[in-house]
Amino acid sequence: MKIRYRPEIDGLRAIAVISVILYHAQITIFDFETFKGGFIGVDIFFVISGYLITSIILKELIATGSFSFKHFYERRIRRIIPVLLFVMLASLPFGWMLLLTDNFIDFSKSILYSIGFSSNLYFWYTGQEYAAESGLLKPFLHTWSLSVEEQYYILFPIFLLIIFRYFRKYLIHFLIFGFILSLLLADYGSKNHPSINFYSLPTRGWELLVGSILAYFETMRNQSSDNKKMIMIMPGLGMILILHSIIFFHDQMFHPSFYTLSPILGVSFIIWFARKEELITKILSTKFFVKIGLISYSLYIWHYPVFAFDRISEFSKDNIFRELSLGMIIFILSFFTYYFIEQPFRNKINRFKSILKILGSSIFLLIILNFLIITNNGYKERLPQILQNNTNEKLFRLLKKNKSGICQPNTSDCKFNTSSKNKVYIIGDSHMEVLAFDLNGRLVKRGYQFINPKYYCVYLPGFNRLHFKTKKKVEDCDSQYHEKLKQNLLQDTSSIIIIGGRFPHYLTGSYFDNQEGGIETGQDNPYVSDSKYKSIKDSIRNEVSELSKLHKIILIYPVPEVGWHVNKKIISQWVKNKFSKNFDLEYITTSYKVYKERTKSSFELLDSIQGDNVYRVYPHKLFCDNLIKTRCMTHNDEMIYYRDDDHLSLEGAKMVNNLIIKEIIKIEKKIGK
């Protein structure tokens, strides 16, 4: 029983892939981000996949009474794998040229997990937020959706075959039950576990099952709508729901969840009510939409790595002609792979055994190449010296790898040299944590016990940290955690406590704009008062002052923020210099005046904390001569004091730690140690 070709479904594929591409292109008009809900295109693909796969399986079961897994997976392999492997192989040279060491290793791991149909789990496990800026620089982040579909292709046919053979009468009940269970799980997960909720099959399965339910009624019940009024109205309503979601949905919403039902119903209305005489069906069946729909898979596979490598190299930044050429490149590559990869591999004239040999060789080559990249630490010698030293590995991860300490599982709480009674705490967010790796070794040598509580919590008793999307308390950084930490500190007297954090961000509630084009973006977990204090300033001032009565306090003043994506700017210069390892690097600077304006409230706050037990460290003096220059180089000649964000590199951390050790020596002299 052959599946009837429906051109409007290719038209739907076109809508889906165009929306995804426009979303990832991040097009803004008059500072308004258009197509900010374009990510919903992936959900459209899921419904279509569920509908078509279920239709194929059920029609084969009805016609023959059996199901050939061999033929089914052969079709899937011919359809999915060749283009994916080709794009991976084509992307490796660009990864070699443009990716820094740790990014290159992550790139290789994502390829290997994608080959193993599990990149969705890899990106979830590594904590990659899909809409975060860092995700836009990962060339194969988009393969998470392929892994979800591939996992569905493996599990669903087995499930469907068992139910069809032994519980055929109740098949629709199983499908509806699975749909409801998965949707409820997705809605719960969106509010409580948004990361795994986004990436996992159990919380995406309901979208695929919507298509399966449509296929069931069409195939098993031979049902379709013959209501002329509904046929003329529902596809239009469906398109309105889809377009509404593409234009008005956004990254901060709960997704997938009950909200996602809107575009999913829109797709269902079009699939169920589409007829040749109806307007939306006619539009979707035009050559333009059908042609794009036919190459939609190639478009989807190509667009993300092209955009990612463009962002890394800044090839098309602020250049409309280059941006347009980038779009042309994506379409040219997609047409090429459709006609010269997709079609030949899907053509049954070409024997499957021969195809398997080609695919097997390609997979083997990819495994070997990426294994070598990982085991050789990303081949950092391929990079100029400045980029070899600029590692992205989080220094707090290195701290946890130190086996000489006692670190709590699943947290960043670590203690070193626990036999010593002379204790030094370092408390604050990730800006403090990057200091801890180097500082630990220095302090242990001086005979101190070094204690490092959670890195993502700036010291704010009386405040709860909320997840940016769910608005629920982050349990490991709420007022209870701060109160417990405070009591421990008050009981453990005569210690040295190093306190700092990204105070300008918390006090202003905004990310950094260096007013020269370097505008930082992000999704932050905000702090809210539990009524003990009206403001963050009050909490810091009062609580640190209270600690200073019992302890020696070292306040770390704000590290200069950057605004620029430093590594991207360096790589952009490297590309312009034709990848020469000895290119003349232009200094990357930020305005000292902007720094002073940005940190004014932070300086006032920290200056207001007075007392004989309060010591101060000014990291900005390492980078700026505030008596002479109106501008300061935040990276000095070596350009290595920052990584790709506002965190110090190991070299920069060592410089700040030199200042901290000087203050500790002052404390030692004062107490006669």
User: What is the full DSSP assignment across 170-236?
Assistant: GHHHHHHHHHHHHHHHHHHHHHH-HHHHHH-HHHHHHHHHHHHHHHHHHHTS------HHHHHHHHH
Residue 634 has phi, psi (to 5 degrees) of -80, -5
Beta bridge partners of 642: 648
Distances (CA, A) of 434 to 396, 501, 641: 6, 11, 12
Ramachandran category for residue 515: left, alpha or beta (phi over 0 → left; psi -120 to 50 → alpha): left
Counts of helices then strands in the chain (DSSP H, E): 26, 13
Residues of the chain with CATH 3.40.50: 393-562+595-627+654-671
pLDDT-derived band of residue 271, with 50, 70 and 90 as boundaries?
Answer: very high
pLDDT of the residue at 640? 43
pLDDT of 330-368, one tens digit each?
999 999 999 999 999 999 999 999 999 999 999 999 999
pLDDT winner (highest mean) among 26-40, 615-629, 632-646: 26-40
Closest CA to 596 of 499, 515, 500, 537: 515
Ramachandran category for residue 531: left, alpha or beta (phi over 0 → left; psi -120 to 50 → alpha): left
Q: Residues of the chain with pLDDT > 70: what percent?
A: 91
Please give the full DSSP string across 131-158, using - where no structure is assigned: TSGGGGG-TTTTHHHHHHHHHHHHHHHH
Distances (CA, A) of 473 to 398, 477, 488, 503, 525: 28, 8, 22, 20, 9
The residue among 298 and 435 whose pLDDT is bigger is 298
In this model, does residue 259 exceed pLDDT 60? yes
pLDDT of 25-66, one tens digit each?
887 776 677 789 999 999 999 999 999 999 999 999 998 888
Q: How many CA atoms lie within 13 A of 657 on its CB side?
A: 22
In this model, does residue 21 exceed pLDDT 80? yes
pLDDT-derived band of residue 629, with 50, 70 and 90 as boundaries?
Answer: very low
pLDDT-derived band of residue 411, with 50, 70 and 90 as boundaries?
Answer: low
Beta bridge partners of 93: none
DSSP 8-state assignment for residue 587: P
State the Cα–Cα distance between residues 12 and 47, nearest whole angstrom: 10
Least confident of 148-162, 383-397, 404-418, 560-574: 383-397
pLDDT of the residue at 31? 66
pLDDT of 427-461, one tens digit each?
998 888 889 888 999 999 999 999 888 767 889 99
Least confident of 517-526, 587-596, 623-632: 623-632
Return the CA Rg of the chain: 28
Average predicted confidence (pLDDT) for the chain: 88
Tell me the residue type at 111.
I
pLDDT of the residue at 517? 84
Matching CATH number, 393-562+595-627+654-671, of 1.10.3470, 3.30.70, 1.10.260, 3.40.50: 3.40.50
Q: Residues of the chain with pLDDT > 90: what percent?
A: 60
pLDDT of the residue at 408? 66
